[in-house]
Amino acid sequence: MRSKVVISFLIAIVIFIITLVAYQHDYFLKPELVAYDFQAKLLRTEKPVHPNVKVILVDEASLKSMSELAGRWPWPRAIWSDLLDFLEMGGAKSVLFDVLFLEKQNKFNDDALIAATRHSQNVYHSLMILKEESDTQDASVAMLGVPFPKELANRFSVKQISGMQPIQMGTENNDYALPIQGLSEASKGIAVVEFAPDSDSTYRRTKPLREYQGNYFPVLGLAPFVDARTAVKFTPDAIELNDRHIPLDENGNVLINMYDLRKVDTYSMSGIFASLQKIRQGEVENLLVNPEVFKDSIIFIGASAIGTADLKSIPMHPSAPGVMLHAFFANNYLLDDFMNPPDRRVTYLSIVLGVFVTVWAVLFSRQLRYRILIPLVLLVFYVAYVILSFKSNQQVEFVPFLTATFLTSFLSFGYLSFTEGAEKRRVAHLFTQYVSKDVLNEVLNNYQKYLKSSSGKKVEITVLFSDIRGFTTMSETTTPEEIVEMLNVHFTVMAGIILKHNGTIDKYIGDAVMAFWGAPVETHNHAEQAVLAGREMIQGLDEVNRILKERGFKHEIKIGVGINTGMATIGNIGSEQKKNYTIVGDAVNLASRLESITKEQKTPLLFSQYTYEQVKDKIDCRRVGNVTVKGREQAVDIYTA
């Protein structure tokens, strides 16, 4: 037992260390992302979005229907000024472009977009803040780290920052790309649009604020809710602004809570421009898109057409418009629907739980079903906890727990198969010579119990002794070869009868056989089985004598059978060199004495009153008499059947 405790502790420690090292080196990151995506699809599909967040897309239909008016993509910027006019008609609250205008097009189109942006006073345009890697020999290195325009930084960066940890050297962003000159100045705000994918090329997270030389700019999804006057407080695991607590992971990213794309109010540019043309022609009935649907709305403008190269893989869809990530983030803010990243302390605890509960269940449960069932129940409960936590916007890591539980089960069962296999072979070797196949199977199925019993225990059993009458005289007139052959034939038949009645053959003593019932497998009808076996052994002499006669044996064999029931000590008894699984005690001695008086009582089968009390209602018995046997002062009634 002590060695098993030590082994279980070693298995638990080894698996814990392996799992912990793998976890800390991010080996579980990709499978954990798969688990996260599965939960998002399972639990976020029916989540409602905020009715005031809307998306306008340049889709395939837009590129096709507007090709004559706008030409090939990218469109002339005057087109976008028309869109702003349409949204102004509807009373939009904020308009955010996930479309970059970084290079000049021509004066007419650029001026049209700038003028419309200035007139609307609710438009946010996109910029990029980057960390570029450049060879020190490259001439472009001189272009990195250029100061951000002071006027734009003062106007659009978040000023009231507290609690921010200083950016470590070597991790700063060193490049940026602004909208064309005049467009930023005309905008209500500028915001960062680029996203970085996770290691599996799927987009799930972003840094809410991007730093450049001490200035902090919001990403597009956060831009409508912050400005230069917004107070922002950084804590080690969150950003606090206005009345929102935005959880951050250890890398400073916010995990964007996703929604079903079909839940978001989405409009095609083709429908909007068709409606705009009808309005300009004086038709205000039966519009494909009524501008009033955008009243008081936060509108994100992006592209979903393949040719626009802005399709991204997200947990909810393998190819979604990139602008949806910004729209989702805005929904998270408006609905206070932020996902909390995993708590590593919970993960560490789950690993400990998976390892130690599993090793205990596998190594110390007596039955196979519990060894399998307990880890499975633990797994089910943990999966339920993970899912319920996800529904409550708390991500709980699943893969480290699963790995720890699986590896512990595998190693524990491997240890058991090795040690139990050896112990079962030991038990099988101990009992196979003495018991029937049915009894042996029962012993092997509960081998630990019977392995312990071999060290000694007190049990109630029924003992049988059988001896060949006149064997000494018979052996004087018979060759040794014939004696051996005769005994082999006799014992073969007798042993078959004993095993048929689930008896245990203790030993062969010359011409005698000793057997017992009630051990190693405890049975309530051991006395009945022993009497039935004894009676059949007497009948079996006909078969023995027939075989011997056919082989030329001249003597006819007769036997006496003595049976007694009582308490005895059973165990693997003997010297260090040789031991036998046997029984000792007064009950054994009485059975032997009863066998020795069968000849003088002129009946081949005798059993004691103690056996009679247990079989009298099941077997027809006849009282033979009352005798005092050698070694006992008290007389005992004897019976036959």
pLDDT of residue 608: 96
Which residues, in sequence order, are CB contacts of 317 under 8 Å at separation 6+?
261
Q: Which comes out higher in pLDDT, residue 98 or 1?
A: 98
The CATH class, in words, for 432-640 is alpha beta
The maximal CA–CA distance of the chain, rounded, in angstroms, is 136
Q: What is the pLDDT of residues 563-605, one digit of tens each?
A: 999 999 988 777 766 667 788 999 999 999 999 999 999 999 9
pLDDT of residue 52: 97
Whole-number average pLDDT of the chain: 90
Which residues, in sequence order, are CB contacts of 398 under 8 Å at separation 6+?
32, 35, 382, 383, 386
Confidence (pTM):
0.70
Looking at residue 570, what DSSP letter applies? E
pLDDT of residue 442: 47
pLDDT of residue 431: 52
Which residues, in sequence order, are CB contacts of 554 under 8 Å at separation 6+?
478
Q: What is the pLDDT of residues 260-304, one digit of tens each?
A: 999 999 999 999 999 999 999 999 888 999 999 999 999 999 999
HSE at residue 256, side-chain half, CA atoms within 13 A, is 30
With 60 as the cut, is the pLDDT of residue 449 above it? no
With 70 as the cut, is the pLDDT of residue 433 above it? no
Mean pLDDT of 57-71: 91
Query: Where do we find the tokens 């097009």?
Result: 105
Confidence band (pLDDT; 50, 70, 90) for 519?
confident
| Residue 247 to residue 237: CA distance in whole angstroms | 6
| Residue 294 to residue 490: CA distance in whole angstroms | 104
Alpha helix ranges (H) inside 313-455: 323-335, 344-364, 368-391, 399-431, 437-445, 447-453
Residue 184's φ and ψ, nearest 5 degrees, are -60, -45
Which residues, in sequence order, are CB contacts of 492 under 8 Å at separation 6+?
none
Domain boundaries, given as residue ranges, for the chain: 2-20+341-427, 48-156+170-206+217-224+255-335, 432-640
Q: Which of 235, 311, 242, 335 is nearest to 58 (CA)?
A: 311
Strands 53-58 and 94-97, bridge-based pairing: unpaired
Q: What is the pLDDT of residues 480-507, one digit of tens each?
A: 899 999 999 999 999 999 989 989 888 8
| Residue 25 to residue 46: CA distance in whole angstroms | 35
Mean pLDDT of 517-539: 92
pLDDT of residue 137: 52
Do residues 547 and 485 touch, judged by C-beta distance below 8 A?
no
Confidence band (pLDDT; 50, 70, 90) for 367?
confident
With 50 as the cut, is the pLDDT of residue 309 above it? yes
Cis peptide before 74 (omega within 30 of 0): yes
Do residues 74 and 103 touch, judged by C-beta distance below 8 A?
no
Confidence band (pLDDT; 50, 70, 90) for 419?
confident
3-state percent helix, strand, coil for the chain, nearest multiple of 5: 45, 20, 35
Report in angstroms the alpha-carbon separations of 483 from 222, 465, 479, 505, 514.
Answer: 103, 20, 6, 21, 19
Mean pLDDT of 97-120: 95
pLDDT of residue 440: 54
